[in-house]
A and B are shown apart, each in its own frame.
Chain A
Amino acid sequence: MNDKDFSKEKIDNVIDKLLYSYPAKVSKNRKEHMLVRDCSQDKQQIKANTRTVPGIITNRGCCYAGCKGVVLGPLRDMVHIVHGPIGCSYYAWGTRRHKGKPKEGEQNYLPYSFSTDMQEKDIVFGGEKKLKQAIKEAVEIFNPKNIAICSTCPVGLIGDDINSVAAEAEKEYGITIFATSCEGYKGVSQSGGHHIANNALMKHVIGSNNDFVAPKYSINILGEYNIGGDEWEISRILSKIGYNIIARMTGNGTTEELRNAHKADLNLVQCHRSINYIAEMIEKKYGTPWLKVNFIGIEATVRTLRDMAKFFDDPEILSRTEEVIKEELEDIREDVEYYRGQCAGKTAFLFVGGSRAHHYQGLYKEIGIETVLAGYEFAHRDDYEGRHVIPDIQIDADNRNIEDLDVQKDPQNYRIVIPPQRREKLEQEIPLNNYAGMINEMKDGSVVIDDLNHYETEELIRILKPDVFGSGIKDKYIAQKMGIFSKQMHSYDYGGPYAGFKGAVNFARDIAMGIHTPTWSYLVPPWKKEPSLEGEVSYIPESVEQ
């Protein structure tokens, strides 16, 4: 079998072999989480956001990771007190590269980790008193304007009432203090934690400043976490065109700017999975529409900028958009062409969280790399298939446990940003309040796998031998041990930014460098010319149980 044979027959064969290794029950379960893209089919369905098979080494994290680590953590001016034993607070301390730069006079708690460091006696006798004291200590020393409390596993089990502790403290100190019950075991992945954090920001922060008057062309950036400085590049482009960014959610963002978010004219949604709840709730409560954007890749960035211009439909913005696009493209054309020459014809796997597995496909394509396998760690069906499937998604017990916050129209602040008629027309032209999902953009014969596990990763790399394995640090070294270039798509291997125009060049350069590093040519010792890497599933276990 040819290494680079990605015919449908070969792919089907590969998947069958993978599934064959599992027993009937797990095989059936995992099969529903995989599909081979068939463009002739109108609809292809995938299973997602269901419980992880225990014992199969997943890359998924927990509810706390999604709430504290992803959504709330990047807010610079917020003291995040992790209520629980020490580990969880330590592990989420500066681990996600959400960068932030405070403005003159602003508070910055990004370099800090705050924990109540619960001990055995707190588990036995309850930790409320300790939490109360910890808040007091944080207020006295750090004098923050905002405190969020995130709970870890034992807190929910021992029944600490963190919400009332937060409410009392809020009254006592006259600052914003709220609690999130994001115990690790809730939901099926970090996704539940995103939702919980979205709810908390909506309840306690967004819309709390009604005195704010938004300038013209005002927008919020949602679901952009400023990993490696992505938000800085995006903001550079948007400001150059003339947009005014009111709030960033949440990379390089502040709680204080979130208070004004309801006054912006448009919400941009970059990572759909982690923040679509806020976009939806703001729309319902304040009338602000949202636009699915993608600032990863040159074409995607251009399209997004044009979509935004269409939305504002203002001669100044329209012409400025085209000017900026022209200027930026001119600036990077030569570099991108150079790197494309180095990368053309290569293949990639993309297994990332809840958006990047989709977003980066376009950028790969622009430098000549084809994505042959893509999957999300914690996405829902709508991230794969598009939002139109939302009404058909079954709600199971795990998801029911995550509150769906019911917001109502705010009579004082609700406004119609664009008239219904124009809106209807716009919805036909741009992804307004809509996300079409990842699958639609994927090529015939490419593989889509949800919650790719350790075992499947190994086998698929072994068989499909991609040139680039784009994933995270936990599976990076598997690929590297197999002699395959691995790119960390969560933290960018401590590089970046990769968003926008200049970011695309950074990415192209890093990928070209990774593919062409001289090291790869020394992997086979001179005395052993034949590589021993076999193109077969090397070990087929008899059965695996769910």
Chain B
Amino acid sequence: MKNKRNFTNLNVNPCKMCMPMGAAIAFKGIENAMMLLHGSQGCSTYIRRHMARHYNEPIDVASSSLSEKGTVYGGAANLKNGLKNVIRLYDPKIIGIATTCLAETIGENIDMIIREFIEEENLNDRHFVPVSTPGYGATQFEGYFQAVRKIIEYLTEETKPNNSINIIVPNITPAEVRFIKDVLKEYEVEYNLIPDFSETLDAPFAYSFSKIPPGGSSFSNIKRAAGARATVEISKLADKAVSPGEYLNDTYKVPLYRCSIPIGLQNNDEFLRILSEVTGREIPDRFAKERGRMLDAMIDSHKYNSEIRAAIFGEPESVYAASRMCLENGILPALISTGSKTSRLQSLLQKQEEMNNLHETPVIIDDTDFETIRELVKQLDVNLLIGHSDGKFITERDGIPLVRYGFPVNDRIGSQRIMFAGYEGSTRFLDLLTNTYLDRKYTTYRNRIYAKYAS
């Protein structure tokens, strides 16, 4: 195992963001909800800016705009006034209040402030979800799940069992969430998909603009989750402490199934198998055909794929899914890396059978940065990068092509529409990997071969 980072105290070109960013994405998936960040206004502004560039959508994240005075005397007044204004101007039914480095460092008790606020204002028709997301606590990956879990914790209570199933989605694209909803439709099952940002973060042009975009998991669906038949959590990497499915299981005994993002053949097989198990329905015919086409594609491209030496980076969940897909296609994931801290990535991948048959052991690192990734990319002779846009730092310097995947993809159009889920989406993803590699191979190989053999 290599060192996680070249430097212990200096993070050079981060491969991660902060917790509130993840929380902001999660709250965009709740119907009629808004998030307010308790801290300096810069936190909201930066997060809005980065999300707008990825999703190409208006992003509303309010701020309590704490100033120096607030840091000395506490930020309760700012938080309460901020909430009042958000309610009056935007009229959300659910308000997420996420903390920042500042609020956490001065020790703000937001639970108490919110309780006071509800009492003072006599607000019983709105729901408040406080989430602790200090920027130094973890990364956007944990912040996302922490927020989803808190939404469920605050909005559910013991309820009568019902026939629905819960689907917890990770930070994938709105198009991929729409795909998952399509699959559920095929199974003809009632479901509670949380959080559902398929419409809010990829809203169709409608010539009208509503302050809070329509869509998102409804309050009643979230409530119903406590009595659901099962939870399918599309995350194998989220820690138990932040896993919404674990909470539903611990508190309401809702059976929990965890699977990876349905990207890659095995991940799709697993996803469909779980859905069949929890719904008691056969895998719909449509998928058998799609699986067949994916296999056909895998056979078509395997000769080229075996030449690919990939470096994969991003959030643990997306890295795991892509690594698995590479492995099943004979693409060597020479470097598997994430900026988040996780031991699960390593342990899960080690269970993967193909790992035992590799002629070269992949380097798997967590808590890393792009300076380290770049160095390993050079050492390991990587010829394809798979990950979010920040990988362009390596492409620009060393000319290794990047297939954009994960969050954020902010230097290309259409990130909200990237759809690599399902057998069809995975096939498209695989073709893109192969073709990106071929593009490079065909522009350089004549020279390389000539240099090697003829000169």
Contact = CB atoms under 8 A, between A and B. Distances in A.
Bind each other: yes
B52 interface: yes
A152 B101 contact: yes
A545 B56 CA distance: 31
Interface string B53-86: 1001111111111111111000000110111111
A58 to B, nearest CB: 6
B136 A544 contact: no
B82 to A, nearest CB: 3
A539 B11 CA distance: 47
A24 to B, nearest CB: 13
A99 to B, nearest CB: 13
Contact of A481 (B47, B63, B203): B203
Given A87-B21, A185-B68, A531-B207, A545 B58 contact: no
Contacts of A541: 88-89, 91
Contacts of B60: 57, 454
B43 A111 contact: no
A89 interface: yes
A65 B45 contact: yes
A54 B136 contact: no
B7 A91 contact: no
A287 interface: no
A174 interface: no
Nearest to A51: B67
> Of residues A21, A57, A397, A541, which shows the largest number of chain B Cβ atoms within 10 Å of its Cβ?
A57
A455 interface: yes
A189 B42 CA distance: 8
A545 B85 contact: yes
A114 interface: yes
> Of residues A61, A475, A543, which shows the largest number of chain B Cβ atoms within 10 Å of its Cβ?
A61
B13 interface: yes
Contacts of A476: 52
A76 interface: no
A458 B58 CA distance: 11
A105 to B, nearest CB: 18
Interface stretch (A119-127, A221-229, A246-254, A277-285): A119-127
A136 B9 CA distance: 9
Contacts of A117: 10-11, 14
Contacts of A462: 209
A292 interface: no
A546 B17 contact: no
Interface residues on A, range: 35 or more
Contact of A91 (B49, B105, B396): B49
Interface residues on B, range: 35 or more
A56 B63 CA distance: 8
A544 B396 contact: no
A256 to B, nearest CB: 22
A299 to B, nearest CB: 33
A85 B133 CA distance: 12
A397 B69 contact: yes
A55 B97 CA distance: 11
> Of residues B8, B91, B139, B208, which shows the largest number of chain A Cβ atoms within 10 Å of its Cβ?
B208
B41 A52 contact: yes
B140 to A, nearest CB: 9
B154 interface: no
Interface in A473-489: 473-478, 481-483
A158 interface: yes
A64 B46 CA distance: 11
A137 B7 contact: yes
B50 interface: yes
B312 to A, nearest CB: 19
Nearest to B367: A117
Given A57-B61, A62-B45, A154 B105 contact: yes
B46 A89 contact: no
Contacts of B42: 61-65, 88, 184, 190
B57 to A, nearest CB: 5
A474 B65 contact: no
B64 A54 contact: yes
B126 to A, nearest CB: 14
A191 interface: no
Contact of B65 (A21, A58, A89): A58
A62 B40 contact: yes
Q: Which 8 A-B pairs have the closest CB atoms?
A: A62-B42, A87-B18, A55-B85, A55-B82, A184-B40, A54-B82, A85-B136, A91-B46
12 contacts: A57-B61, A62-B42, A65-B42, A86-B16, A87-B21, A93-B14, A113-B14, A136-B9, A137-B7, A483-B205, A483-B207, A533-B208
Interface of A: 21, 23, 26, 51-65, 81, 84-93, 95, 111-120, 122-123, 130-131, 133-134, 136-138, 141, 152-154, 156-158, 183-190, 397-398, 401, 454-455, 458, 462, 472-478, 481-483, 523-524, 531-533, 539, 541-546
